[in-house]
Amino acid sequence: VRYDKGLAKSRKGFGAKLNALLANFRRVDEDFFEELEETLIEADVGFETAMKISDELQDEVKLRNAKSRSDVSDAIIERLVDIYESEGVDEDNSLHFAKEPTEPTVFLFVGVNGVGKTTTIGKLAHRYQQAGKKVLLAAGDTFRAGAIEQLAEWGRRVEVDVVTKPEKSDPAAVVYDAVVKAKKENYDILLVDTAGRLQNKVNLMNELDKIKRVITRELPDAPQEVLLALDATTGQNALTQAKQFKEVTDVTGIVLTKLDGTARGGIVLAIRNELHLPVKLVGLGEKMDDLRDFSPEEFVYGLFK
């Protein structure tokens, strides 16, 4: 239900193709599995993950002696949910907060330009502000022209405070000011924007390390999350980006943005299977309410409705 509107495209694309495959279903034979693999690959599930799902499904169908359409359909749905849930190093899709309730929680956002970092921070700020939390934002993307003002605009829109410095300032200096302010003025949560320039990985690595050091020096438990934003509409490119970011910093979870903009929502499964990282949040639109916690069941059932 919570995914209803945002998954409309994937439901019409990926979901409808799976449903069509099942509607034409006669028997579980080689053709059937070939078609299933094609459908999965077209939906951005990725080759490796598609083969894995198909192989496991073949075993499952034998094991259960599944013959009818509904048996096979149930087995597919269960496989899609399971491939997500069984893959985890960290099976936890939920966001982690400071253990000490008096200490601010810090989430660091990374990802390349345009994937939706700033928008996600705005949406999350709105969520926590609505929940009665004291929220602070740090405009750590001092590189991209307009990024600081964009975050400040979100701050005004959702009525939370934003720490900024002029363009080209040291991002770690912005973060330092924000962490000190968060501690001193008892903020519950600090959301940090960063610039994600993958073109220069060494610089990016140093910059993120420095930002983390500044945070950890003041708050030894923080950051509780390093969230990598990926644009679902870029399909397999998102996967490549994620692999590169994993080399640069310790990512704790994925924010999959613009899931409303793709008909091939299978990228969620690829991320889990190939990156072993949990998708923690999904973006289903541009507005402040268009952010959801990720649930594999709701996602998979949302596709088939």
Q: Does 9 bind ligand GDP (CB under 6 A)?
A: no
Please give the residues from 106 up to 125 whose contact with ligand GDP meets the rule CB under 6 A: 111, 113-119
Contact indicator for 290, 6 with CB cutoff of 8 Å: yes
Count of residues touching ligand GDP (by CB under 6 A): 19
Sheet with 253-257, edge to edge strand ranges: 161-163, 135-140, 189-194, 105-110, 225-231, 253-257, 279-283, 291-293
In 66-129, DSSP assigns E strands to: 105-110
User: Which residue of 82, 285, 292, 301 would you call a contact of ligand GDP, by CB under 6 A?
Assistant: 285
Phi, psi for residue 272 in degrees, rounded to 5: -65, -45
Closer residue to ligand GDP (CB): 49 or 120: 120
Q: How far is the CB of 7 from ligand GDP (least distance, A)?
A: 12
Closer residue to ligand GDP (CB): 75 or 303: 303
Q: What is the rounded radius of gyration, in angstroms, for the C-alpha atoms of the chain? A: 21
Neighbours of 115 (CB within 10 A): 26
Closer residue to ligand GDP (CB): 252 or 257: 257
Please give the residues from 232 up to 261 whose contact with ligand GDP meets the rule CB under 6 A: 257-258, 260-261
Closer residue to ligand GDP (CB): 9 or 69: 9
Phi, psi for residue 226 in degrees, rounded to 5: -115, 105
Q: How far is the CB of 260 from ligand GDP (least distance, A)?
A: 5
Q: Which residues bind ligand GDP (CB under 6 A)?
A: 111, 113-119, 150, 229, 257-258, 260-261, 283-286, 290
